[in-house]
Amino acid sequence: MMQSTIPLLSLAIWCPIAFGLLVLAVGRDENPSLVRWLSLAGSVISFLVTLPLLRGFDNAAHGMQFVEKTVWIERFNVNYFLGIDGISLWFVLLTAFITVIVIIAGWEVIEKRVAQYMGAFLILSGVMIGVFCALDGLLFYVFFEATLIPMFIIIGVWGGPNRVYAAIKFFLYTLLGSLLTLVAILYLYFKSGGSFEILNWHALPLPLNAQILIFLAFLMAFAVKVPMWPVHTWLPDAHVEAPTGGSVVLAAIMLKLGAYGFLRFSLPIAPDASHALSGFIITLSLIAVIYIGLVALVQADMKKLVAYSSVAHMGFVTLGFFMFNDMSVQGAIVQMISHGFVSGAMFLCIGVLYDRMHSRQIADYGGVINTMPRFAAFFVLFSLANCGLPATSGFVGEFMVILGAVKFNFWIGLLAATALIWGAAYSLWLVKRVVFGDVGNKQVAQLQDLSGREFFMLGLMAIAVIAMGVYPAPFTDAMQTSVADLLKHVAVSKLQ
């Protein structure tokens, strides 16, 4: 492990939280301009703080980097223990980047309780980065559960007509799923002789029956968070009712917390159980990829369509993890990062239309390209990325997972590849009905094209989507060593 002289990870976590608390302290509805600029400054500074991680990261190094360790609760041997590897590096940067976009997205749209809205996103950003950096089991659990609170408030206060129902459903699903995880964490604490260090748990020689119980306990939390079929039903409701910024963060970052948990907990702590139950997880993943893709095809609400497509895309991620080869696991991680850009951008586009028309129904649109040509260009780009067009980020991860799947089992690879067909079907069907054709009605005829703020926001996302699609090497190079180490560890049986 490489110790850090400058606490970069602590800065990445606590900088946005500190700015969030500052915004809440000074924020008044009489002076929203100050709040907006302070929030933007906080998000940009928080993003800049993460950039030295990228510059100082050693792609060839094994183990954790930028490690920080301080005693937190001495009596129970709980440490404030942080570190990142090639798996978690890009998620720290992605979280900080998406937070900047979300602050810009809510600039003019949020008119009431501006400070509380901006503050909630800044605090949420810091807490989510904490999940990706925590190397202490209890610290991970605290950060993991703390993400619920700001998102619950964001959906419940600034959401749509059924926001309270959606917020409570989101909260109950994710909280109940996590309770068994706490039991597993306490079991591992006592089994390891009183240590909460996740890396120590990776070396525990656990019998298969204990591994299976631990795997299932973690599965309850992570499957809900991903979300995997059939515990995905909270996601469409949460997306439809959440404000645009809430949908962007939910899709781009929060779904990744569950997938990340599989890599940090389920696979390395219970490798034999992971192999034993891989067929079960692969089956659930393929159902998500195929069935949920078909469900997306019949949606009348744009947000619901993209929400269901998120479930299908995250099915690719869990599929990739449990085929245990370099190509599929790296592809799954690349898919997680790409999905952050693409689905986040799709929700931003839907938000742009909703701000003008106050409708998400596909039938209320038609011929948007005639009145909003610049917007239409972005919308078509992101829709094509959503269905995996080559030279966009959406293609890279899916292609790698399909290659890994064919290597693992040809028929699984074939079934996974059908996702590209369903993705093209629902994405192009959406574009045809919303963007192309004659002007649908008077409201569409009066639409104004993108403002400078909206163009800048979508432009940044477009650059990210294309850059990652054309040149994915920085992403794969950073994770290669960490993925190889993980798979080597998972391949070795712990059964005595």
Overall average pLDDT of the 147-159 stretch: 86
d(CA 473, CA 480): 10
**Token output for 27:** 């924020």
The answer to whether the bond into 207 is cis (omega within 30° of 0) is: no
- The mean of the pLDDT values for the chain is 85
Q: How confident is the model at residue 454 (pLDDT cuts 50, 70, 90)?
A: confident
Answer for the pair 379, 371: CB distance below 8 angstroms, yes or no. no
Nearest one of 487, 489, 485, 492 to 60, comparing CA atoms: 485
pLDDT exceeds cutoff 60 at 277: yes
pLDDT of residue 462: 92
**Nearest CA among 25, 457, 1, 472 for reference residue 248:** 457
Contacts of residue 418, defined as CB under 8 A and 6 or more positions apart, other chains included, come to 289, 290, 293
Kindly tell me if the per-residue pLDDT of 450 is higher than 90. Answer: no
Closest CA to 313 of 328, 331, 335, 294: 335
Least confident piece of the model among 169-178, 306-315, 341-350: 169-178
Q: What span, in angstroms and rounded, lies between the C-alpha atoms of 399 and 60?
A: 25
Query: Residue 178 pLDDT > 90, yes or no?
Result: no
Backbone angles phi, psi at 70, to 5 degrees: -140, 145
Measured CA to CA, the distance from residue 258 to residue 261 in angstroms comes to 5
Any bridge partners for residue 67, and if so which? Answer: 3
CA distance 316 to 416: 8
pLDDT at 465: 92
SS3 sequence of the chain: CCECCCCHHHHHHHHHHHHHHHHHHHCCCCCHHHHHHHHHHHHHHHHHHHHHHHHHCCCCCCCCEEEEEEEEEHHHCEEEEEEECCCCHHHHHHHHHHHHHHHHHCCCCCCCCHHHHHHHHHHHHHHHHHHHHECEHHHHHHHHHHCHHHHHHHHHHHCCCCHHHHHHHHHHHHHHHHHHHHHHHHHHHHHCCCCCEHHHHCCCCCCHHHHHHHHHHHHHHHHHHCCCCCCCCHHHHHHHHCCHHHHHHHHHHHHHHHHHHHHHHHHHHCHHHHHHCHHHHHHHHHHHHHHHHHHHHCCCEHHHHHHHHHHHHHHHHHHHHCCCCHHHHHHHHHHHHHHHHHHHHHHHHHHHHHHHHCCCEHHHCCCHHHHCHHHHHHHHHHHHHHCCCCCCHHHHHHHHHHHHHHHHCHHHHHHHHHHHHHHHHHHHHHHHHHCCCCCCCHHHHCCCCCCHHHHHHHHHHHHHHHHHHHCCHHHHHHHHHHHHHHHHHHHCCCCC
pLDDT band, very low/low/confident/very high, at 354 (cuts 50, 70, 90): confident
Residues 11 and 263: their CA atoms lie apart, in Å, by 24
* CB-CB contact of 214 with 253 (8 Å): no
pLDDT over 70 percentage in the chain: 97
Q: Which residues contact 355 (CB under 8 A, 6 or more apart)?
A: 109, 244
pLDDT at 207: 84
Task: Look at residue 239 in the predicted model and tell me its pLDDT.
Answer: 81
- Mean pLDDT, residues 219-231: 82
Rounded mean pLDDT of 473-487? Answer: 86
The reported pLDDT for the residue numbered 494 is 57
Q: Maximum distance among all alpha carbons in the chain?
A: 72
The answer to whether residues 3 and 84 touch, using CB atoms and an 8 Å cutoff, is: no
Q: Please, which pLDDT band fits residue 2 given cuts at 50, 70 and 90?
A: low
Encoding tokens for residue 467?
């850059």
Q: Is the model's pLDDT at 33 over the cut of 60?
A: yes
92-145: per-residue pLDDT in tens? 999 999 999 999 888 877 778 888 888 889 999 999 999 999 998 889 999 988
Q: What is the pLDDT of residue 493?
A: 62
Would the pLDDT of 194 be above 90?
no
User: Confidence class of residue 352 from pLDDT cuts 50, 70 and 90?
Assistant: confident
Which amino acid, one-letter code, is at 188?
Answer: L
Quick one: pLDDT at residue 3? Answer: 58
Burial call 26-40: b when 16+ CB within 10 Å, e when fewer: ebeeeebeebbebbb
pLDDT digits (tens, 9 = 90+) for 359-394: 888 888 878 888 888 988 999 999 999 887 888 888
Choose among 231, 250, 242: nearest CA to 180: 231
Q: Which amino acid, one-letter code, is at 109?
A: V
User: Within a 13 Å sphere around the CA of 196, how many CA atoms are in the beta-carbon half?
Assistant: 25
Tokens of 344: 């986040």
* pLDDT surpassing 90 at residue 193: no
